[in-house]
Structures are given as C-alpha cells and as structure tokens.
Amino acid sequence: MEYTSAPIAEKIRAIRDVQEMGRQAFCDATGVPKQTLINVENGRNEPSFKVMRKVTQAFPQYTMWLMNDQVIEEAGQISPEIEQARKTLKQTGTDTD
C-alpha cells in the first residue's frame, strides 16, 4: 500500500493545533508573517524554504515528520499525533515518565 503524505498546509495546521496556538501566536513564535501563514494554510501558496526553515527552527521536534513523514522518537523527532498522545496520557495520569 502506498502512503500519501498530508499536504504541507495540513501539517503546519496540525503543529499549530497540538501546540494550542492561534495564527498570531504561531507567527510570533516562528517569525512567519501572518498573511503568509494564512495563504499557506488556505492552500493559496506552498511554503517557501525560508518559511519551512522558520517553522522547523521554532519546532525542531517535528522536522522529520514535516519534511518526510518520519518519526524517530528516540532522537526526539515526533509528529503532532505523538505529542497529542503524550498530552492525553499526562492528563489522564497514565503517563509513565
């Protein structure tokens, strides 16, 4: 079965969601102009290398997932789904850390 990557716009939105950030907070954290983020998230533009670099510098734990759909938890490379699962475990008191 062939795996199809989520569009980059969906991935950036997933990072924003799991970090519980509105657009302005995300832009403040990354340095990405708000209109650029809006255009990317709405599919009007693909993010430039500069935008991707800013996102991965602000959220380095998602770099591998964002760029090539890989996670390497032991190296600190996770996806928003893994981060959400960790948050849920902490909230329910079932986290083993």
CATH architecture of 8-92: Orthogonal Bundle (1.10)
DSSP line for 45-85? SPPPHHHHHHHHHH-GGGHHHHHHS--BGGGTB--HHHHHH
- Write out pLDDT tens, residues 59-83: 999 999 999 999 999 999 999 999 9
pTM value is 0.85
Q: What integer best gives the mean pLDDT of the chain? A: 91
